[in-house]
Amino acid sequence: MSNVMACIDGSSLSEHVTTASVWAALTLRCHITLLHSLEKPPTRTAEDLSGSIGFGSREHLLNELITLEEKRSKLALEHGKLVLENAEAFAKQAGAEHIQSLQRHGDLIETLTDLKDETRLIVLGRLGSNHPMDAHTVGSNIERVARTLDNPILISVGEFQPPKSFMIAYDGREAADNAIQRIAKSPLLKNLPCHLVMAGENSPERQQKLAKATQILEAEGFEVTSHLESGSIFSVISHYRDQHNIELVAMGAYAHSKVRQFFVGSNTSRMIIESPIPLLILR
């Protein structure tokens, strides 16, 4: 069975990532995998260290430095186990029944790539353990996951509450059309009111694309409110989100060659950074 993959690192967002993962797993009727990736720091050998402390330094200093590195690795391993234990207890308390805890050594993206065939949804915090909650940035793993994997990504930005409505940021491009198709066929958002919002010129062509996307969703049983408004993507989406108390935003990502442009220096990057609600990224 495909799993909801909850990527936790012990940061302040890990609890919210777990909560979001429980909601998604219960809605999708699948299992949860709590994943802690223990990324290995650069190894410093005796040869590396000897140059930094100079010729003639005592051998025991090298040994002490190497021992310290080993202790740090062991502490990181134990910390990861505690993070997983706490997350599993929290998930059970939140109602999850089928939970797997998994600790892997190595790069997170490589681990997720290895597990992609058994992953239905990846859940990440907007920021990792190296960032404070109010940092005005996007965690590097979000961009890297989107560039590498085709799995949907749910981004937790703070305390997670099961959404009562959602909005699709629609621009009429191929990626957005793919996102519409995937949302229409998935049970994740099936019973929630859908707001389909398009920003830009109010032309017959754009009205036609919006109408077609609406029909696809309605054919699968969604209750859809469509809206086309002139203006920049970020301002239209943000204003509509706040005005209608939207609780989750779904959007499409570009193809592999475009993903970096999508996240870096774009309205979407700004939306992720400043959004007060979770975001669902679809490829």
pLDDT above 50: residue 131 = no
- Sorted by sequence, the CB contacts under 8 Å of residue 237 that are 6+ apart come out as 167, 169, 197, 199, 249, 271
Q: Do domains 3-41+76-156 and 166-282 have the same CATH topology?
A: yes
Average pLDDT over residues 217-226: 96
DSSP state of 257: G
**CA 7/CA 113 separation, integer angstroms:** 13
pLDDT above 90: residue 142 = no
Average pLDDT over residues 142-157: 86
Q: Where do the structural domains in the chain lie, given as residue ranges?
A: 3-41+76-156, 166-282
> Which pTM was predicted?
0.83
- Counting DSSP H helices and E strands in the chain, the numbers are 10, 10
Q: How far apart are the first and last CA of the chain?
A: 21
In this structure, what token pair is assigned to residue 247?
């609780």
pLDDT above 80: residue 276 = yes
In this structure, what token pair is assigned to residue 242?
């706040």
Alpha helices in 54-97 (DSSP H): 59-93
Sorting pLDDT into bands at 50, 70 and 90, what band is 139? low
pLDDT above 50: residue 162 = yes
253, 175 Cβ separation under 8 angstroms? yes
Average pLDDT over residues 19-47: 81
Per-residue pLDDT tens over the stretch 228-250: 999 888 889 999 999 999 999 99
DSSP state of 39: P
Sorting pLDDT into bands at 50, 70 and 90, what band is 52? low
Angle at 145 between CA 139 and CA 149, to 5 degrees: 170
CATH fold for domain 166-282 = Rossmann fold (3.40.50)
Sorting pLDDT into bands at 50, 70 and 90, what band is 3? very high
Candidates 2.30.30.700, 3.40.50.620, 3.40.50.300, 3.30.360.10; CATH matching 3-41+76-156: 3.40.50.620
**CA 79/CA 82 separation, integer angstroms:** 5
